[in-house]
Amino acid sequence: MRPRRALPVAVLVVLLLSPFFSFSPFYQRVAALVVLAAISASAWNVLGGYAGQVSFGHSVYFGVGAYSALLAFTKLGLPPIAGAPLGVMVSVAISVLIGLPSFRLRGHYFSMATFAIAALAELLVISWNFAGGAIGMMGPANSRSLADLLFRGSLPYYVIFLVVLAILLALTHLMQRSRMGFYLRAIGSGERAAESLGVPVRRYKLYALLLSGAFTALAGSLYAVMIGFIDPDSGFGVLISVNMVVMAALGGAGTLFGPLIGAIILVPLSEASNAFFGGGGSGAAYIVYGVIIMLIARFSPGGVAEWWRILSRRRVRRAA
Amino acid sequence: MLLEARGIVKAFGAFHAVDGADLLLQEAELLGLIGPNGAGKSTFFNCLSGDTRPTAGTIRFRGTEVTTRPPDAHGRLGLARTFQVPIVFDTMTVRENVMVGAFLRHAQRRAAAEKADEVLAFTGLAEQANLPATALGTPGRKRLEIARALATEPVLLLLDEALAGLPSSEVEAAIDLVRRIHARGITLIVVEHIMEVIHRLTQRVLVFNQGRVIAEGTPAEVTADPAVITAYLGRRARK
């Protein structure tokens, strides 16, 4: 490992291990939520970061995963996690259905289309009484077996989420080094040039969406398992999509650890603001996110990951 | 015949940017495509590379009809191109840019990297290989686009004003590069403004004006052609 990478990696490792040495339930809960958010933001990053196709509609995949989990429980009496494979399968179908037409659009037009699709999906779910309509659905109240994954503390969730995140990041790392990673980055920074080099652009965008959507759906299922409640807003709400975009962008879109860094910064912030403002302050998050989006877009499109690169380059130059 | 374009028309509304142009290209040729601004060269060029779908006409490349096929299909068949305004992948290093091209024929990362290094050495970019592509100026970017296109191992390379806008110190090196590409057995079509470059590079030239081919021949023949002089300089210059 190059020395300039050693320090940030060490900080990351210490942060990720810290919940095991903390006895504060609040801290452990926030840590679990951080990793969960990092899963969906990292999943978003495959399409939005590497391939540069900024989706504002990933709540669709998250909601599908979350709803599949609680539908499996309320309709079939299965443990919620048993709905996760269904969620992933539905997300694949939706990826093809949404991806084929929307990938004809480029840039902002693509973003707006995904935003519109997600808004429509939320409306559909609100009027879908089979799945609880506007009220939503509850998970199991009492643990029937270990498979219900119902734990008193947050640490077990933290471990599960960490494993999923590790798998996703390992896959992303492999992808980044392979032809697919090069092709996605090429599409992200110059679609016309990529096409001229023989890159089948729409097919690779679809691959990216399949991977991205499947892991976002899995994140949704995990969310439903841990929280034990889902309604149209917490599954399909605009803020779900915006969260992924902001975390990836803040940490560094198109980098392996960027979304995780973004989640480490933002989730504690929003949890603290929720605790501070109570239920009445839920709008505050929108304001904060809006400000963050503007600041990143204006001053630092590369996100936090980029700051580190710039800082270490400066130090190297000074040392030389 | 390597490339065969017949009766190509590209209409934007009532305006015909290309209005019935033909082009026949033999393997190993180095063909020049010239014409005044707005003559339809670039539109015609984009039809050949698949970036623009012609309104009428047919294009065959290596015996396959490619008229309505997308640019990436042209790439796989062995046609590569550069852009008038270079589009480099600005989130990548110079080597990574070229690797994107190399991945077309080499699925494995290591093989693609080797191919990229070979092409970088050939195009004189080896020293800049690890720099971010954004560190290159215009001449470097044009060279990088050529390198990236060569990495796809093309049979036919289309250069869209690859020499335009270069400082005179760079023009010699660029002419040398085009010659060395041709010597490798790659067929070339060169769109160019600078007459001197065309004179020195090509044996055969097509002259475009108002969407049509108005003259064809050696550089010396076409520059003596009254129709060409009229197109470039206007009627009063013909005396």
Q: Which of residues 151-180 of A touch B (CB under 8 A)?
A: 177-179
For A164-198, write each residue's pLDDT tens digit. Answer: 999 999 999 999 999 999 999 999 999 999 999 99
Q: Among B72, B85, B108, B159, pick the best mutation site for testing chain A contact (most A Cβ within 10 A).
A: B72
For the entire predicted model, the pTM comes to: 0.92
Residue ranges covered by each domain of chain B: 1-78+157-239, 89-153
Specify the higher pLDDT residue, A221 or A272: A221
Of B75, B91, B112, Cβ closest to residue A196: B75
- Residue A104 pLDDT greater than 70, yes or no: yes
Nearest-Cα residue of chain B relative to residue A202: B72
Give the model's pLDDT for residue B192: 85
Long-range contacts of A115-118 (CB under 8 A, 24+ apart): A115/A56, A115/A57, A115/A238, A115/A241, A116/A57, A117/A57, A117/A60, A118/A56, A118/A57, A118/A58, A118/A59, A118/A60, A118/A236, A118/A238, A118/A241
**pLDDT string in tens for chain B (239-residue length):** 899 999 999 999 999 999 999 999 999 999 999 888 888 888 999 999 999 999 999 999 999 999 999 999 999 999 999 998 999 999 999 999 999 999 999 999 999 999 999 999 999 999 999 999 999 999 999 999 999 999 999 999 999 988 887 888 888 899 999 999 999 999 999 998 777 888 888 989 999 998 999 999 999 898 888 888 888 777 765 54
Q: Among B45, B61, B85, B91, pick the best mutation site for testing chain A contact (most A Cβ within 10 A).
A: B91
- Residue A278 pLDDT greater than 70, yes or no: no
Enumerate the residues of chain A whose CB falls inside 8 A of the CB of residue B99. Answer: 182
Q: What distance in Å separates residue A315's CA from the closest CA in chain B?
A: 18
Give the model's pLDDT for residue A315: 59
Enumerate the residues of chain B whose CB falls inside 8 A of the CB of residue A182. Answer: 92, 96, 99-100, 103, 112
Give the model's pLDDT for residue A3: 60
Least confident stretch, A126-130, A295-299, B210-214? A295-299
Residues B194 and A66: their CA atoms lie apart, in Å, by 63
Neighbouring-strand partners of residue A137: A230
| pLDDT (average), residues A105-134 | 92
User: pLDDT confidence of A260, banded at 50, 70, 90?
Assistant: very high
Contact A197 B99 (CB under 8 A): no
Contact A193 B49 (CB under 8 A): no
Enumerate the residues of chain B whose CB falls inside 8 A of the CB of residue A179. Answer: 103, 107, 109, 112
Contact B91 A199 (CB under 8 A): no
For A17-70, write each residue's pLDDT tens digit. Answer: 899 888 788 899 999 999 999 999 999 999 999 999 999 999 999 999 999 999
| pLDDT (average), residues A97-115 | 90
Q: Mean of the per-residue pLDDT values for chain A?
A: 89
Q: What's the CATH number for B1-78+157-239?
A: 3.40.50.300
